[in-house]
Structure 1
């Protein structure tokens, strides 16, 4: 458990085959409701990924628990060695090779920060090779729900070009880091000053946050093609 209602799960392919994916992509886990109806849930891959995953290498995802949820029951019922059926990878919420921007604005709430964890090795390369800057605005209610917080802080400490701004809606802890903010991620856009001439923004997480931040970024005149979105919907 990496938060009170979020589990970090590690799998390997049962067929022994490799899995290659682009940071930002997701897999779909297939299962059935109690009445036998087939369904699936999507989970971004959380691996700190900088190469193809060879045979036997782990596949990592973060799973939000929803009270009474069928997917929650599936994952909570897994023992070590348990199997799930999955397909993928899918998705285009990725860093694009043709980008020529000077800065990325990565904005997330909840498990929406998962793809940004997977992007860290690629961002380190872009910082080194292109001199880009990165700002990560991560929203949560409190410190205990701030997923992968220590990893993002360590990355920021090691890369001055990467600025990490955790935003806590229910107040700051004692001795909070100077870069920690009290409020919602969209409240701090003015502080980072979105710049249409150099910024590409990524929005991932709660649909209300994604919509509100999308509108706020448009008001700063950031062109819509420079705003990439992925909404996470909790579902039973």
Structure 2
């Protein structure tokens, strides 16, 4: 098995055109976009990485936005063709205008893959604590095939704590719940800060993700945690996990900051 450094060396960032294949709404203000590379090449990447979309402001100034890849594919079968991302709409945002204006068949410029927010082949942990808010959950969707392999081969357990304000904003919630029902070692725990579902699942919680960390008894000897999403959540969970004794290298972080 390749080391992380070897894996990253095979995924050198490149620039490429993306053609929109389809889009659907995941939530009132979040769209799921499916692209293919318009140069006919696949995008080989490590789940957890992101791409950058390049465009220009109205005055011609170049800019870019970063989006974690939500694409699910099995690396044992080779890289897939789809390039999937979740896009949060920000009122008045230049990137929002770009994405809302896209029609099927339209092309945009992108580069990547980038980032090291990935599962590491050398990990020997007993459990992963995956914690997210909003579109910060997209890397974990991409990781599902890897997690399935790790559960089967190493017997790891996985807890996904996912914070959303309402059931309508629980991105990919149906997919994660279905995955949990197929895999007893995977537990999906949605945390709703404003509104609970009409018929809550036993694993649904009312509050913020950081309020429920203690329920899962973070273990310095056996856990590795991933934190992705709102910076305040990431900081709060980072301090809580350090307080439980987790070493800093076992608390892997990626903060999402909305840009117009």
TM range (shorter): over 0.9
Q: Tell me, in whole angstroms, the C-alpha distance in 2 between the residues paired with 1:181 and 1:190.
A: 13
Q: Tell me, in whole angstroms, the C-alpha distance in 2 between the residues paired with 1:138 and 1:49.
A: 22
2:110 equivalent among 86, 101, 113 = 86
Q: Is the 8 A contact 2:156 2:185 kept in 1?
A: yes
Q: Does structure 1 residue 174 correspond to structure 2 residue 198?
A: yes
- Partner residue, 1:53: 79
Q: Tell me, in whole angstroms, the C-alpha distance in 2 between the residues paired with 1:138 and 1:15.
A: 36
Deviations 1:183-212 (A, max 9, x none): 000000110010000000000001111111
Q: Tell me, in whole angstroms, the C-alpha distance in 2 between the residues paired with 1:81 and 1:159.
A: 37
Q: Tell me, in whole angstroms, the C-alpha distance in 1 between the residues paired with 2:236 and 2:214.
A: 14
- Partner residue, 1:114: 138
Q: Tell me, in whole angstroms, the C-alpha distance in 1 between the residues paired with 2:43 and 2:203.
A: 36
Q: Offset at 1:166?
A: 0.2
Secondary structure in structure 2 of the residue aligned to 1:80: coil
Q: Does structure 1 residue 71 correspond to structure 2 residue 129?
A: no
Q: Is the 8 A contact 2:69 2:84 kept in 1?
A: yes
- Partner residue, 2:151: 127
Deviations 1:16-40 (A, max 9, x none): 0121000000000000111111110
Q: Is the 8 A contact 1:101 1:199 kept in 2?
A: yes
**Superposition CA RMSD, Å:** 0.8
Unmatched 5+ residue regions in structure 2? 1-24
Greater fraction strand: 2
- Partner residue, 2:127: 103
Bigger drift between 198-207 and 210-219 goes to 210-219
Question: What is the number of equivalent residue pairs in this alignment?
Answer: 234
